[in-house]
Amino acid sequence: MTMRHLSHRQSVLWIAALVHRLSGLALAIFLPLHFLTLGLAIHGEAPLESFLRWSDQPLVRLAESGLVFLLLVHMLGGLRLLVIENLPWRDGQKELATIAAGLSAVIALILLARLF
Amino acid sequence: MRLRARSQRKVAKETTEVTTEGATKDSMSDTRSDLTVSLWRGAQQGRYESYKVPWRENQTVLDVVTFVQRHLDPTLSYRFACRVGMCGSCAMTVNGRPRWTCRTHVSSVVKDGRLKIAPLENLPIIKDLAADMRPFFDKWQRAKGAFVPARTRNDEIERIRPDGTARIAADAAIECINCGICYAACDTVRWNSNYLGPAALNRAWTLVNDVRDGANAERLQAVAASGGCHACHSHQSCQELCPQRLNPTASIAGLKRRTMWAYLKGEI
Amino acid sequence: MNVHLYVWQRLTAALMVPLVLVHVAVIFYATRKGMTAADILARTRGSIAWASFYGAFVVAVAIHAAIGVRNVLTEWSPLKDRSAGIFASAFGALLLLLGARAVVAVVLP
C-alpha cells in the first residue's frame, strides 16, 4: 500500500520538526569539516589565513550565512521542544514555531548583508 | 438530522434500485448527483476500487461505506458499531487523514466529488477497510496501561479530590476510547516499530497520576525504555487529529519530566 | 531513545544555548572587524578562557550530535538500536577528536 501523502504533513509543527531534523543532520555533516579547517592552525597562521581569504568569496559567504541560519533554526527548534517538555502546555505553538524560523532567517540575512 | 437518517434507511429498504431512484428523489433540488468513492480492497497487497454513490445533503463517510456494502458490493469488509461517535470502531483514513467516519460529514472532506477511503495506517490490514488493532493493544499493555490496585476490598476507599493537581492531569487525558487515530497519524510510529505510540503513553500518564495505582515503578520503567515516551518528537499530529480533543503530546511531555526526575534521583 | 540518552541530549542542548549565542556573536564581531588569522590567533593563543569555552562546546556537541544521529539512524535507516548506537558512538568520537585538535590548534601558544 502506498499512501505516503497524508495531509497532516502540511502542518506547521510537522514541518518545524522536519526542519529541526534536517538542520541537525546538515550541521553534523558540516562540523567535522569545520574542525578540520580550524585545525589548519596547527601548521601555523599561513594555512588558516589562506583559508580565510578563500572563504571571502561571495559563494562561500552565502554558504556561511546558510550555516548560521541552520544553527539558529536548529537551536530555536530545540528550544521549542524544551518548552513543550518542561513548561506548562501552551497553545499558539504554530505561531511561535513560524516566528522562530523567521527570526533565524532574519539574523542570518543580517549576517549576510554585513559580509558584503 | 436523525429523522433524515431514518427516512434514508427506509428508502433503502423499500427499493432495490436505490442508486437511480434515491438519486432522482434527492437530487431534484440538488445539482450534484454522485460521489466517486475509491475504497481500498485487499490486504497489504490490494488496490483501490471505485464506486458511484448517491450524494446526499446530510451524509457521513460511514453512510457512504455502508451504502457500498449494502447496495453495490456485499464483499466489502469494514468495521463500525455505535455510529454515533462513542465507540471509535469506524476510524479509517479518509482523503489522507485518519477520522471517525461516522462523525465525518462528506461535505467537509469531499474534493471534486471524490472520496478516497482506506484502513487506518501503521497497522496490518485484515481485509479492505478493517485494520488489525492487535499491535495497538499490545503496546497498550507494554506501556503498562492497565490499572493495578494498591488496596484491597478490606481497606478504606482512597479519597480522591477532583481538584487535586494529579487528578486534573489524569482527567484531562482519560477520555480515550482507543480508536487508533493518533496511532495511525503518528510518523514516529511509522518510523520506529518499537515506539509505544501516543495512545498507550497517554493512558500510562493517566495512571501515573492516579494515586490509587500501585504499579508506577514498573510503569515508569516501561515508558523510560527504548521506544517509550522519549522517542516522541512532538510532531503533534496526535493532538491535532484526536476526535476527543485529547493531547497525547502533553501527556508524553509529562512522562518525560516524570521519568527524567526518576532517573536523576536513581529510581529507574 | 531512552531516558538515559534523552537526559544527556537535553542537558547538552541546554548547555549549548549560551555557547551558541556567544559563538555567533564572536563570528559577527570577527567578520565585521575583518580580522585576519593572525588577529584571531593572537587572541586565542594561550587563553584559558577560550580553551575552556570551546573545549566545553566540543564535548557537548560531540555528545549531542551523536545521540541525534543515532535517533535519525534508528528511524530513517535500516539500522537498529545496537548498530545505530555503534555508528553514532564512532561519529561522536570523531567529533571529539577533531574538535579537540581544533581547540588545541588555536589555543596552544
d(CA B80, CA B12): 19
Q: Domains in chain B and their CATH numbers? A: 2-130 (3.10.20.30), 134-264 (1.10.1060.10)
DSSP state of B97: E
* Mean pLDDT of the region C41-52: 89
* Mean pLDDT of the region C30-55: 87
∠ Cα A22 C91 A73 (to 5°):
25
ipTM for the predicted complex: 0.90
What's the pLDDT at B149? 93
Q: Read off the pLDDT band of A7 (50, 70, 90).
A: low
A95–C contact, CB cutoff 8 A: no
Q: Which residues of chain B have pLDDT under 50?
A: 1-31
Chain A: partners with 3+ C-beta pairs within 8 Å:
B, C
Would you call B234 and A85 a contact, using CB atoms and an 8 Å cutoff? yes
SS (H, E, C) B2-64: HHHHHHHHHHHHHCCCHHHHHHHHHCCCCCCCEEEEEEEEECCCEEEEEEEEECCCCCEHHHH
Using alpha carbons, select from B202, B214, B218 the residue that is nearest to residue B256.
B202
pLDDT value at A53 more than 90: no
CB-closest option in B188, B194, B230 to C3 = B230
d(CA A71, CA A26): 9
Which residues of C lie inside 8 Å of B (Cβ-Cβ)? Answer: 1-7, 10, 74-76, 81
pLDDT value at A80 more than 80: yes
What's the pLDDT at A109? 80
Amino acid identity for residue B60 in this structure: T
Give residue B214's Cα distance to chain centre: 29
- Can you name the residues that pair with B51 across neighbouring β-strands? B37
What's the pLDDT at A44? 75
Top mean-pLDDT range of A75-79, B117-121, C101-105: B117-121
- Can you name the residues that pair with B92 across neighbouring β-strands? B99
Q: Domains in chain A and their CATH numbers? A: 11-115 (1.20.1300.10)
Task: Classify burial at B55, counting beta carbons within 10 Å of its beta carbon; exposed 0-12, middle 13-18, buried 19 or more.
Answer: buried
Chain B: partners with 3+ C-beta pairs within 8 Å:
A, C
Neighbours of B196 (CB within 10 A): 30
What's the pLDDT at A116? 59
DSSP state of C19: H
Lowest mean pLDDT among B184-188, B231-235, C27-31, C67-71: C27-31
Residue that wins the pLDDT comparison between B13 and A6: A6
Contacts with B199 (C-beta within 8 Å, 6 or more apart), sequence order: B136, B140, B176, B178, B180, B182, B183, B238, B248
Domain boundaries, chain C: 3-107
**Roughly how many angstroms between the first and final C-alpha of chain B, as a whole number?**
54
Q: Read off the pLDDT band of A4 (50, 70, 90).
A: very low
pLDDT digits (tens, 9 = 90+) for C79-91: 988 999 999 999 9
> Would you state the cell numbers that stand for residue B232, as one nine-digit string?
516522541
> Would you state the cell numbers that stand for residue C96, as one nine-digit string?
571529539
